[in-house]
């Protein structure tokens, strides 16, 4: 799998297509979030797949178990490579979701704690006891036990989750910024190289690529840097939750 997933945080398809033009026929791993999906619907997913791209459909499903299961049973027909649910939906919801993607090419990822949530927000707004790392690890272990393929987490929790969940558990981290970038609305961010060193399999990168004057060069530079860094990766733990 490519180490970088480009977040298509565009308000419409026209802007997305203009962004893709400089990449030519290069096959990419592209994330479609809620804003773009609700505007374009299923057609964008099937079109990008037909053009040879991998698609991460980031819809963050969170509802009663039956509803999530039925929704996924429809969405997997689009053949997305990844799709997301919220781990906070509970073990039964995650088990039903995992069952809905069984036998398909789609990998199910559970969101732990959003990267926009800080320690203070977890405590004061959500009234959750404990710290972000402990909660993220708890959700990751519950997800793995429920048959989910991996998690979405901040790079700051990646090492702890890797230690608990083992080497075969998929960890995808958003909240990636280059050194010169503004963090915007993210609270827990990290550079690409550091995130991979801490145990992430893949990185979701949006504005650090999509807002650049030469996004192709930036993308390829990041991929090259990460490919060099993956030689002799430090995370090989086989410990399980």
Residue 120 has which token pair?
């203070």
Q: What is the pLDDT of residue 216?
A: 97
Distances (CA, A) of 15 to 18, 36, 55, 144, 210: 5, 11, 18, 37, 10
Placement of tokens 């807002």 in the chain: 211
Long-range CB contacts (within 8 A, 24+) of 67-74 = 68/93, 68/96, 68/97, 68/100, 69/96, 69/97, 69/99, 69/100, 70/100, 72/97, 72/100, 72/101, 72/108, 73/100
Residue 151 counted as domain residue: yes
CA atoms within 13 A on the CB side of 168: 7
Strand pairing report for 107-111 and 150-152: parallel
Core vs surface per residue 143-172: b (16+ CB within 10 A) or e? bbebbbbbbbbbbbbbbbbbebbbeebbbb
Closest-CA residue to 107 (of 79, 142, 73, 82) = 82
Residue 149 counted as domain residue: yes
Residue 239 counted as domain residue: no
Residue 241 counted as domain residue: no
Which domain covers residue 27, as residue numbers? 4-229
Other beta carbons within 10 Å of 174: 25
Residue 237 counted as domain residue: no
What distance in Å separates the CA atoms of residue 116 and residue 188, rounded to the nearest whole number?
7
Greater confidence (233 vs 56) lies with: 56
Greater confidence (175 vs 125) lies with: 125
Task: Say yes or no to pLDDT of 217 above 50.
Answer: yes
Task: Say yes or no to pLDDT of 198 above 70.
Answer: yes
Domain count, the chain: 1
Banded model confidence at residue 3, pLDDT cuts 50, 70, 90: very high
Residue 152 counted as domain residue: yes
What distance in Å separates the CA atoms of residue 139 and residue 133, rounded to the nearest whole number?
10
Banded model confidence at residue 181, pLDDT cuts 50, 70, 90: low
Over residues 8-25, the mean pLDDT reads 95
Residue 165 has which token pair?
């969940």
Give the domain CATH number at 25: 3.20.20.70
**Mutual orientation of helices 132-145 and 155-165 as an angle, nearest 10°?**
40
Among residues 60, 77, 187, 228, the one annotated as catalytic is: 60
Banded model confidence at residue 235, pLDDT cuts 50, 70, 90: very low
Residue 176 counted as domain residue: yes
**Total residue count of the chain as it appears in this document:** 241
pLDDT digits (tens, 9 = 90+) for 37-52: 999 999 999 999 999 9
Quick check: helix, strand or coil at residue 43? helix
Q: What is the pLDDT of residue 1?
A: 78
Residue 122 counted as domain residue: yes
Question: Annotated catalytic, 60?
Answer: yes
pLDDT digits (tens, 9 = 90+) for 72-128: 999 999 999 999 999 999 999 999 999 999 999 999 999 999 888 888 888 889 888
What distance in Å separates the CA atoms of residue 162 and residue 23, rounded to the nearest whole number?
33
User: What is the overall mean pLDDT for the chain?
Assistant: 90
């Amino acid at each position: 799998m490519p180490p970088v997933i480009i977040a298509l945080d565009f308000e419409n398809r026209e802007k997305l297509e203009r962004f893709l033009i400089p990449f030519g026929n290069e096959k990419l791993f592209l994330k479609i979030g809620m804003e773009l999906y609700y505007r374009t619907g299923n057609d964008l997913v099937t079109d990008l797949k037909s053009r040879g791209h991998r698609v991460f459909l980031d819809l963050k499903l969170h509802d009663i178990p039956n509803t999530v299961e039925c929704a996924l049973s429809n969405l997997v027909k689009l053949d997305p490579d990844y799709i997301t649910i919220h781990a906070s939906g509970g073990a039964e919801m995650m088990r039903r979701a995992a069952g809905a993607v069984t036998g398909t090419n789609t990998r199910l990822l559970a969101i732990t704690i959003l990267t926009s949530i800080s320690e203070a927000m977890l405590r004061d707004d959500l009234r959750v006891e404990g710290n972000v790392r402990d909660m993220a690890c708890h959700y990751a272990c519950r997800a793995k036990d429920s048959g989910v393929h991996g998690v979405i987490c901040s790079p700051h929790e990646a090492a702890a989750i890797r230690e608990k969940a083992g080497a075969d558990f998929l960890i995808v981290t958003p909240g990636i910024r280059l050194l010169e970038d503004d963090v915007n609305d993210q609270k827990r961010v990290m550079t690409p190289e550091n995130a991979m060193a801490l145990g992430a399999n893949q990185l979701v990168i949006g504005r650090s690529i999509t807002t650049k004057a030469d996004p192709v060069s930036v993308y390829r530079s990041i991929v090259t840097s990460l490919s060099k860094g993956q030689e002799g990766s430090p995370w090989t733990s086989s410990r399980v939750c």
